């Protein structure tokens, strides 16, 4: 198995800020917020974290930007190289699928035709058998033969579509909505974006049935 290569992006600037960040978790674990003084200490650590994150962004973001631009360019070149092949696939695949559907339709029609022939043959055989029984005075037996349901063994024909190594047909089930009003409730998804927008805009002054709108206090820190 091929091992993924780790790209070294370290610079003097990134190493410095990374080392600074390593000292912060220990400071956070050491402080216990029990009074105003320790509250202020914890707040100072949070402000330091915000500042260091800003420094880390300044050190790493230009590297990330260059890597992202290189990724986009490589992806664009790959897409350009693949485009003719995708175009060819989009020509051939529908043609193969259409041919397969037509052959399946013909196969089913032929199965039905042969079943009908077999059914008629069995009915004629039954009729002859009933007539013979009637001639011999076995009227009840003749009636039973006529009334017995006609059974015809199923006719199953082989598919005629040629087999090509590496090519197969897969049945994919899809759907389309024909009447949204008839869709059962369990298949409907709440519009989380809309609900969230209403909660933020109204600050709980409007209630939505089936939804609890509440607030949480989130600590925010700004870098000095």
Note the pLDDT tens digit of each residue in 67-97: 999 999 999 999 999 999 999 999 999 999 9
How many independent structural domains does the chain possess?
A: 1
Prediction pTM value: 0.60
> Is 119 inside any structural domain?
yes
Domain that holds residue 17: 11-153+181-202
189 domain-assigned: yes
Which residues neighbour 42 within 8 Å (Cβ) at sequence distance 6 or greater?
28, 31, 33
DSSP conformational letter for 183: S
In a domain, 76, yes or no: yes
Does 191 fall in a domain?
A: yes
Nearest-Å Rg of the Cα atoms of the chain is: 38
Average pLDDT over residues 157-180: 86
Q: Is residue 91 part of a domain?
A: yes
Q: Is 107 contained in some domain?
A: yes
pLDDT at 7: 58
Cβ contacts of 108 within 8 Å, gap of 6 or more = none
- pLDDT tens-digit series, residues 41-56: 999 999 999 999 999 9
Residue 195 lies in a domain: yes
Planar angle of CA 124, 125, 126, nearest 5 degrees: 90
pLDDT of residue 5: 56
Using alpha carbons, list the distances in angstroms from residue 3 to 6, 7, 30, 167: 9, 12, 40, 31
> Which residues are CB-neighbours of 14 under 8 A, at least 6 positions away?
56, 59, 60, 63
Q: What confidence tens digit (pLDDT) does each residue in 125-153 have? A: 888 888 888 888 888 888 888 888 888 88
Do the Cβ atoms of 204 and 215 come closer than 8 Å? yes
Give the count of beta carbons closer than 10 Å to the beta carbon of residue 134.
Answer: 15
Tokens of 66: 């260059």
- Residue 159, domain member (yes or no): no
Q: Using CA atoms, how far apart are residues 38 and 27, in angstroms rounded to an integer?
A: 12
């Amino acid at each position: 198995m091929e091992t993924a290569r780790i790209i070294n992006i370290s610079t003097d600037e990134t190493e410095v800020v990374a080392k600074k960040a390593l000292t912060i978790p220990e400071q956070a674990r050491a402080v216990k917020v029990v009074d105003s003084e320790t509250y202020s200490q914890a707040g100072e650590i949070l402000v330091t974290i915000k500042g260091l994150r800003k420094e880390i962004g300044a050190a790493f973001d230009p590297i990330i930007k260059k890597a992202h631009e290189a990724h986009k360019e490589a992806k664009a070149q790959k897409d350009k190289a693949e485009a003719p092949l995708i175009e060819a696939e989009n020509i051939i695949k529908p043609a193969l699928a259409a041919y397969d559907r037509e052959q399946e339709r013909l196969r089913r029609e032929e199965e039905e035709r042969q079943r009908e022939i077999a059914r008629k043959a069995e009915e004629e055989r039954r009729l002859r058998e009933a007539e013979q029984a009637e001639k011999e005075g076995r009227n009840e037996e003749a009636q039973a033969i006529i009334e017995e349901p006609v059974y015809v063994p199923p006719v199953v024909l082989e598919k005629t579509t040629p087999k090509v190594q590496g090519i197969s047909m897969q049945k994919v089930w899809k759907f389309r909505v024909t009447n949204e009003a008839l869709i059962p409730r369990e298949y409907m998804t709440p519009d989380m974006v809309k609900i969230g927008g209403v909660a933020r805009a109204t600050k709980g002054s409007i209630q939505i049935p089936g939804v609890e709108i509440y607030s949480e206090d989130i600590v925010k820190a700004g870098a000095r």
